[in-house]
Chains A and B, each alone.
Chain A
């Protein structure tokens, strides 16, 4: 589904990603872990198409197409979803209006007819149960006055409604209490299917207690320094990132 080859990215002239290679197949869950400043968030932003990132070399192929050629809305419509670390507030625009505009944009892209108000409402009411979110929040301005947990649930709700093929969660677990973390994890688990893939970007192992990844990759200084299965995350929890960083430094020196 997604193939990243030798991806190099600069931000403000500074090299952040320095040769990422990653293969994500449909149905898989990959966790990207790493210390602060290792390039985790840069990777998720580059995949989603945010401006301000300069790809200096390498390629990203998604569903057989060059992902880097597409503007962000095109990527979204093709099924790439990013759950934001810091969901933005949009005053005066109701949550449900945003959801409807987004869903209908996707549907038009897929050649489907737009949903009318009733069908749409029915769909939302079904999906909202998944994230145990108060229905009142649908009618409030997007994320305005939402608690940290409500904002993250809202992201998962959007994911559930838009039904993307590749879901990238950028530190969705940060700042969540244990109950909210469970809700987010349950949401993700219920959306796991054979034709959908997940990239979970996280600093901590604790989300992975609830969402078991197929692969864990450790990002250090803009490169994947180590890959393994779910056990690698447990090892990191125990030992921290220091030993991988030292290992990488030693290899680089050699």
Chain B
């Protein structure tokens, strides 16, 4: 019935609460992209020569590439010369040495977003690196982490302080010429997070990066690199928001994960970039390359993502299962509403023997949104006894949205076992009436049903994030019963 479809749509329409702008003086490059811009970014960051060369090579390669068009998303042409590739809050003189020296307006911004940066506030023992437009503004708990031998700092700092590590690993998972957006990122990336967990260390706390786009007409191109040496373990969380603006803004990040023998990396994302308004004006173009490499035997990489934001999402967190017995996991909830478009999924590349991968994708579409799962499971010749299990479920709310599934499977090893299951369902009027007849408001009923649909993925999130993810879907969980 049309009436209840409209009601459902009204129910799931929530205002974007992180859409405010912080008024700060910035140090920005004028819009435009050229070798000079690449040099200017590198110079601003005081980078060693090898880094500039790396960037220039990526830039020259990018010039020869074309923007990919295969995704199931539609948008007008992007004018790469109209974007500013660098914006940073202006600092009086030197870089802030402690949180006390960070601009209070910035701290206030993060407080407003619910990310207190003061260490004494002890974000439940989570260390945070806050990236504001193009630069990292603060990293907390550094001393405690250093005592464990863990390096957690901004990418700019890593390039200056640990050039050997950067040179050894940067681009080793996602090469600069991997794809159009990765090449662009490699040329102009401004900051991001760097994590190094030495051999045998279990990182003593959750690590987290909070990305915030503030300035107008600016692209955000962050680069994250996580290296987990043999027998180490780390759990890393990433959150993102941006102000509401009528123009689209480009976010083209690259995340590389390297897990050596017996190492485990758990990477969780709650992505809530501004999705645009109801008519599809504005919003972030989220074109991101995320890939993990299980480089040693028994390594494990697990991606968990909750994607509620962005006008367009183009993102396939992947795992290359190189080492024998390596494990790759991908758990995803992607919510699209209004005119949002998401084309997201994963790639699991089985190279080693007895490698296993699990893909669990939950897509929720409402309004006029289009939600696509696109996944590749590739089993190479040497991957004896490789196993994959894929489950893709779609939930439709209303009758103007779409859900699509494109699973690609390439198997070159006869002993491999690959399973795929897919379902599509709608929130039914019966379910909604049943819940309201039990006294539960229609809003809470929709939240409850959506939450139930996503449960298998939410339980993979660290506690802190699970709560945030549920809140994002308009869910209030009362108590712990059930």
Contact = CB atoms under 8 A, between A and B. Distances in A.
B460 to A, nearest CB: 14
A101 B444 CA distance: 9
A92 B452 contact: yes
B342 to A, nearest CB: 21
A36 B4 CA distance: 27
Q: Which of A104, A105, A116 has the most CB of B within 10 A?
A: A105
Interface in B1-55: 1, 3-4
Interface in B417-444: 428-431, 433-442, 444
B479 interface: yes
Contacts of A184: none
A180 interface: no
Contact of B429 (A51, A105, A116, A117): A51
A117 B452 contact: no
A98 B438 contact: yes
A192 B100 CA distance: 68
A96 B453 CA distance: 16
Given A76-B436, A76-B438, A121 B1 contact: no
B145 interface: no
A59 B478 CA distance: 38
Given A51-B429, A100-B482, A114-B478, A93 B449 contact: yes
Contacts of A87: 434
Contacts of A48: 433, 437
B449 A100 contact: no
A116 B479 CA distance: 7
A82 B437 contact: yes
A102 interface: yes
Contact of B434 (A49, A88, A121): A88
Interface string B387-428: 000000000000000000000000000000000000000001
A52 interface: yes
A90 interface: yes
Contacts of A120: 479, 481
Interface string A62-104: 0000000001110111000110101110111111111011101
Measured as residues with beta carbon below 8 angstroms from the partner, the interface class of chain B is: 20 to 34
A141 interface: yes
Contacts of B480: 117
A106 interface: yes
A50 interface: yes
Contacts of A94: 482
A29 B18 CA distance: 54
Contacts of B429: 51
A31 interface: no
A139 B455 CA distance: 14
A162 interface: yes
B57 interface: no
Nearest to A139: B482
Contacts of B451: 92-93
A211 B475 CA distance: 41
Contacts of B1: 51-52
Nearest to B479: A117
A100 B479 contact: yes
Contacts of A90: 431, 434-435, 448-449, 452
Interface of A is mostly: helix
B456 interface: yes
B254 interface: no
Given A92-B454, A97-B481, A100-B481, A105 B440 contact: yes
A3 B439 CA distance: 22
A158 interface: yes
A105 B478 CA distance: 11
Given A51-B1, A73-B440, A73-B442, A93 B448 contact: yes
Given A88-B434, A90-B431, A93-B452, A105 B482 contact: no
A101 B431 contact: no
Contacts of B435: 90, 98, 102
Contacts of B456: 92
Nearest to B4: A51
Interface in A159-193: 162
A164 B45 CA distance: 68
A129 interface: no
A73 B482 contact: no
Q: Which of B3, B428, B434, B451 has the most CB of A within 10 A?
A: B434
Contacts of A81: 437
A94 B481 CA distance: 9
Contacts of B454: 92
A125 interface: no
Contact of B437 (A52, A76, A92): A76
A101 B437 contact: no
Contact of B482 (A76, A91, A97): A97
Given A92-B451, A98-B440, 13 more contacts: A75-B437, A87-B434, A90-B431, A92-B452, A92-B455, A93-B449, A98-B448, A101-B444, A102-B440, A104-B478, A109-B439, A114-B478, A117-B480
16 contacts: A51-B1, A51-B3, A71-B442, A73-B441, A86-B430, A92-B451, A92-B452, A96-B481, A97-B481, A98-B440, A98-B448, A98-B482, A101-B448, A104-B478, A106-B439, A141-B452
- Closest CB pairs A-B (n = 9): A92-B452, A97-B482, A93-B452, A102-B438, A76-B439, A92-B455, A94-B482, A105-B439, A72-B436
